[in-house]
Structure 1
């Protein structure tokens, strides 16, 4: 039986999903894709989980698709069905997802970073949309990457395949923060802790809200947004939050320290 390539643990309301395939730079092999998708489904269904951390072992976060497996494979065998599902699982997860990068990401790996809600990397992390340089197109990952990137930067980096560093990744919207290696874990932990303070249903609805198309004018959206807001004010979760604020205590969804 093959060794597990993706590990899943839960502590303090956080599910940590760890890519552990350093021999191929955490490339998206068929086995890793299957295990990662299963771990994301597990986190979604786990009532003990409030937020998800996506991290890795080894010096590389994810090198993209496993090109050794892709060599000689037909169009139906390139992970084109599994990988979009993984990106959608990350993007549409009702529980916020934080990516922790202690090393580089390439191609599909960047697609996963972009699909997460928050991403933090060390300065040594580098990035490249290397697809065009091997004669393929960054098609699938464009659906998560392009909403994050500044348009000019997207054209430059998608078309040239040039390497860029974590500082520029912050500037163009791919990352939230670039911090020294000795501050990475504390920074990620701070984001995770902040996310657990939000109501679970409110976080899920807010994630959905962030992904909605914008109305042409604010007036076109006020009726729907007022209904959404009023419903949450009257909900059990909303009322618990209001009571806890008045009583100067933590709401019942905040994990114990």
Structure 2
């Protein structure tokens, strides 16, 4: 299985591949996972975020599933890597995790048909797209303050090649908070599939390499607080871990 990532070590940024007990640099040096600073495995270009793309998640928020993809954009300031810290605003009372399958685009394309959609995918990674719903205007017009806050989108640890994932539309998702499972779901319950989303997005704009599609989260939200350790898991992709800290004044 091919997995690649990005780390910072010794004052430089390095691309790495997964080893049994850590990471390997291009020059052959190896390090344990805890010895490096993890970066997002991709430097996202345009990031598309799906809202209410799981029917059970829509129902827990008392909304009907959308008839057309509900998509908004995310800025690069939000992304952090594996084992990093997410800042929680002290005034927030409704900060939720969102475990998501992230699709990384591998080549330029427009007017892509569903039957050819996976030809444009490089691979997959995990995102935990925290939402601070105190600032929500309504679910069909997501406020920038909800989804574009610094450090609120851990992503990684790896990009797993598409060849290693037999069926991305049948993967289990799971979130643990302080070691306790609080969310479980499966990508087969998406309202709009990955091929549909690629066809839809490319029908009106050109997709570029390193664009990322965050495909939504299933039912099972819970509040998180400073000190919580959150682990987002997607079958076949590994585990993305990060810690919630209080945002300093």
* TM-score, normalization by structure 2: 0.24
Higher strand share: 2
Greater relative CO (CA pairs within 8 A, separation 6+): 2
Q: Which has the larger radius of gyration?
A: 1
- Greater helix share, 1 or 2? 1
Structure-1-length-normalised TM-score: 0.23
